[in-house]
Amino acid sequence: MLDSDTKRRIDTCRDILVGKVPDPKSQVEQITIALIYKFMDDMDAETIDLGGTPTFFTKEFERYRWAKLVAPGVSGQEMLNTYSEALTKMVENEGLPKLFRDIFRNAYLPYRDPETLRAFLREINSFTYDHSEKLGDAFEYLLSVLGSQGDAGQFRTPRHIIDFMVEIIDPKKTEVILDPACGTAGFLISAFKHILKQNSTGVVNGNGSSTEGDAAEQALESPMRYPGDMLQPEDRARLSRNIKGYDISPDMVRLSLVNLYLHGFADPKVEEYDTLTSEDKWTETADVILANPPFMSPKGGIKPHTKFQVQSKRSEVLFVDYIAEHLTPNGRAAIVVPEGIIFQSQSAYVALRKMLVENHLAAVISLPAGVFNPYSGVKTSILILDRAVAKASKHVAFFKVENDGFQLGAQRKAQKGSQLPKVKAELTAWMQAARGGAGEELESVFGYSVERKVIGEDGEFNLSGERYRPENDDQFEIPRVPIGEICTLNPPKREVRDLPSDTVVSFVPMADLREWDISFRPSETKALGEVGNSYTYFADNDVLLAKVTPCFENGKAGIAKDLESGIGFGSSEFYVLRTGEEVLPEWVYRCVTHEAFRAQAIPQMTGTGGLQRVPRTFVERFKIPLPPIEVQREIVAEIDGYQRVIDGARAVIENYRPHIPIDPEWGSDKLKNLIDTVTPPLKLQTEAYKAEGEIPIIDQSKELIAAWTNEVQGAIQPGKGLVIFGDHTCVVKFVDQPFVQGADGIKILKAKDGVLPRYLAYFLRAYPLPQDGYRRHFSKLKEWDIRLPSSDEQDEIVKELDAEQVIVDGNRDLIARFEKKIDAAINRVWGEAKVDEEAAA
């Protein structure tokens, strides 16, 4: 896992080189070669400590040892001469394997400045590691800086997640092990370590995992710490042949070869190979496949061959298909997949899931969204394929991991309570039972089993575990009832078909529904004959619920009231919920905007890109608490009281605008003459401020400053104050503390002498530039006349408006407090569970 210290050291190395080696790719090459150079010397030192004989720096090459190169007393010129000579001579070092000599074949030092080299080598020397995992971390961070990983959908798999997957699959010494998108060979190294542990005396238990301590807190150990003393020479020879990897990137292949060699593979089997377009290895199979394949298809697209069972041009679909089809009859696989594989509704995804459920799938493990930080916040799951389980058991196991032993922020700091060891133990036991034809029951707080025929009932083969989570309805005081049993979803249009065509009806576009607001006002009317068949029909007191992102996620819903002729039509992206006699529309509205509904609905959304939708079947099946109608009325009345307070406070915020009474005697000047523009390069290059903790980040979609917790380098110092001006929304905000610019389209203005920044911010809000289309152009704003009183008058105006702003901000606090009261009123019913009277006694 990339730690902040490694990241900082790499960044420092790049900063040192940038003056002499401006090309980022050349920087990567220089840092990589230096890291490998030092690493070889470290491995020699470790071998000596363990009583062995050094390999890399022997005979006449002993004088090039890294430790001697950076020893105290070596001058900068001596260092330069020795290092540049070593780079050219290393290709002649017979102590290096051929793959190492190839790495150094074209190596050279592209500059001749002793002080730059001294600073660079000293920073490289500060890297401390006794195995190659941190070398892989450093190299892959370099690639991520260049954007080559993220653009391809490739993200470094954390070491503890790799080990977790390997321990579940439990590879054996006699098995063929493959990673068809191997990156830096992390999975292959972990599999080798696992086999060594299985075959070493003194290991705690049979599968090579310790029973003590939190798995996430255990030190990352070198595989060479496990002697594998129970392995025979023929076992080791077989392992060397059977552990294989492919990658399309020659850089990754090179690092994989180095990585494997340093872990005992004299002739590592990693090849440059395009798994998705080449047919050369299609007939080869493996007993174990471990992979985190690319999530994204390249910009040029993929031209796969025709042997795939599922026809697609999506890389994640093709890789999973490839892995499933290349398992031996009793083969097993663990694959990191993006959420699209889990629930996307496109035919290729559905066909892939159908194949997996029917022939390959044993389990699905949902991981937290931050597992891949700092490379990506993408949400992922792990598919466990086991052909023996799929053949013998009618069930699939679903697990959800919420704590993987690390915090989910960008720094991924270790924390206690990792659920991985427990999930691994429970899943391993369940699969062992399932191979024997059992597996119907899975008693766990982290997971449950679901029949394969249930997963395929609706033809979607959705693999989101929340969809099938069993509910114990008896645990609640208030009964829970599926929405489809108490509401009619999307009433048929035939109800109004016989009305005259000139009947005036309300027309409700999506924009008429406000976020988190139960009421709305239709903006248009139409004659019934003008309404096309594609529009959704509803009537007074029907609940409208947006089903498409981002409208659903932003709480767009409402209750239809006072419609023309009692009838409305609107977007096809609404669900219409018509309530029965036993439930109030207001109660249904509160339930479908409740966090519990949204939290379970969002993972079920299907579709592509930004047009994912909540499935109708999910809405119909979702169970909501249904208290007696009298209780519903009491709660709704209580909430209405709170809502009136919120609406009043919101009206104050929305309608308030600072007013500055203009005195004709005041002077004026154009804005461009009163400010300096702070340009984005300052944000990117300055190192004037660095802190760890809460750093404000300016978001142009909000007037307020949002807190951002991260380690920040290059925050903007406000000096005498700054004014932020957003192109799109014309947000104007005065800032008097260090901050980070978090979005494009924001202008940072620094007031010149004689202009109070806070006065300037208030003036721009009181007399905003007229909107031009959807933007307020900064080029026009610069020509805007600013009325400018004396500094004392500016100060008085600011004090008066600051006092008003305190009152306005108080309304925001009022809204937050009363929204909590609404949540509490609903949760009294939503969260009530039965009390076990015997246990209570």
Global pTM reads 0.61
Q: Say what the pLDDT of residue 790 is.
A: 93
H helices of 402-486, in order, are 420-435, 452-455, 483-486
Q: What is the mean pLDDT of residues 464-476?
A: 69
Q: The domain containing residue 717 runs over which residues?
A: 667-788
| Cross-strand pairs, 712 | 691
Structure tokens at 246: 């492919």
Of 661 and 719, which is predicted with more confidence? 661
Same domain for 351 and 430, yes or no, is yes
pLDDT tens by residue, 652-662: 988 998 999 99
Q: How confident is the model at residue 504 (pLDDT cuts 50, 70, 90)?
A: very high
pLDDT digits (tens, 9 = 90+) for 84-118: 999 999 989 988 877 778 778 778 899 999 999 99
- Average pLDDT estimate for 206-232: 53
Worst-scoring range by mean pLDDT, 220-224, 239-243, 590-594, 675-679? Answer: 220-224
Co-location of 201 and 323 in the same domain: yes
Q: Is 639 domain-assigned?
A: no
In angstroms, rounded to a whole number, what is the distance separating the alpha carbons of residues 94 and 76? 28
pLDDT of residue 709 exceeding 60: no
With residue 709 as reference, give the H or E element that holds it.
strand 706-713
Query: Would you state the pLDDT for residue 694?
Result: 53
Q: Do the domain assignments include residue 838?
A: no
Together in a domain, 297 and 370: yes
Same domain, 222 and 358: yes
In sign, the C-alpha dihedral spanning 818, 824, 827, 828 is: negative
DSSP 427: H
* Alpha helix ranges (H) inside 445-567: 452-455, 483-486
Confidence category of residue 423, pLDDT binned at 50, 70, 90: very high
Average pLDDT on 262-276 reads 84
d(Cα 259, Cα 138) in Å, to the nearest integer? 13
Residue 700 pLDDT level (bands cut at 50, 70, 90): very low
Domain shared by 398 and 539, yes or no? no
Residue 809 forms part of a structural domain: no
Find the mean pLDDT for residues 531-557: 90
For residue 772, give the 3-state DSSP assignment: strand
Q: Residue 823 domain-assigned?
A: no
Residue 671 sits in a domain whose CATH number is 3.90.220.20
Q: Find where tokens 């380098």 sit.
A: 713
Determine the average pLDDT of the residues in 671-676. Answer: 87
Mean pLDDT (whole number) for 153-174: 85
b/e 525-560 (16+ beta carbons within 10 angstroms → b): ebebeebeeebbbbbeebbbbbbbbebbbebbbbbb
Q: 64 and 182 in one domain?
A: no
Q: pLDDT value at position 611?
A: 72
Same domain, 39 and 57: yes
Does residue 131 have a pLDDT over 70?
no
What digits encode the pLDDT tens for the residues 297-351?
A: 655 567 888 889 998 888 889 999 999 999 999 999 999 998 889 988 789 999 9
How many structural domains are present in the chain? 4
DSSP string across 494-522: GGGTTS-TT-EEEEE-GGGSPBT-S----
Q: Which strands, in side-by-side order, build the sheet including 567-570?
A: 524-527, 504-508, 567-570, 536-539
212, 340: one domain = yes
> What percentage of the chain exceeds 70 in pLDDT?
79
Q: Which residue, chain included where needed, has tokens 């219409």?
A: 576
pLDDT at residue 467, as a whole number: 79
Question: Mean pLDDT: which of 34-48, 151-165, 687-701 is highest?
Answer: 34-48
Same domain, 678 and 775: yes
- Residue 810 clears pLDDT 80, i.e. is over it: yes
Instruction: Tell whether the model's pLDDT for residue 641 goes beyond 70.
Output: yes
Residue 60 DSSP code: G
pLDDT at 663: 92
Over range 492-519, report the average pLDDT: 89
Range 611-621 average pLDDT: 86
pLDDT-based confidence at residue 743 (cuts at 50, 70, 90): low
Domain final residue, candidates 626, 656, 680: 626
Residue 212 domain flag: yes
Phi-psi category of residue 804: left, alpha or beta, with phi > 0 → left and psi -120 to 50 → alpha = alpha
Confidence of residue 561 (pLDDT cuts 50, 70, 90): very high
Measured distance CA(179)–CA(181) in Å, rounded: 6
pLDDT tens-digit series, residues 349-390? 999 999 999 999 999 999 887 777 655 667 789 999 999 999
Q: With contact defined as beta carbons under 8 Å apart, do 563 and 506 qualify?
A: yes
Could you give phi then psi for residue 599, rounded to 5 degrees? Answer: -65, -35
Segment 404-430 shows an average pLDDT of 84
Give the end of a domain, one of 740, 758, 788.
788
356-370, 456-470, 664-678, 710-724, range with greatest mean pLDDT: 356-370
Position 609 scores a pLDDT of: 52
Tokens of 806: 């305190």
In the predicted model, what is the mean pLDDT of the chain?
Answer: 81
Query: Per the domain annotation, does 794 fall within a domain?
Result: no
pLDDT greater than 70 at residue 605: yes
**For the domain that residue 347 is a member of, what is the CATH number?**
3.40.50.150
Residue 822 lies in a domain: no
Is 477 within a domain? Answer: no
pLDDT given at position 355: 96
Task: Give the least confident one: 41-50, 113-122, 506-515, 722-731.
Answer: 722-731
Q: Same domain for 589 and 688?
A: no
Whether residue 204 sits in one domain with residue 140: no
Task: Please identify, among 416, 438, 468, the residue that sits at the C-terminal boundary of a domain.
Answer: 468
- 217 plus 106 within the same structural domain: no
Please give the Cα distance from 810 to 423 (Å, whole number): 46
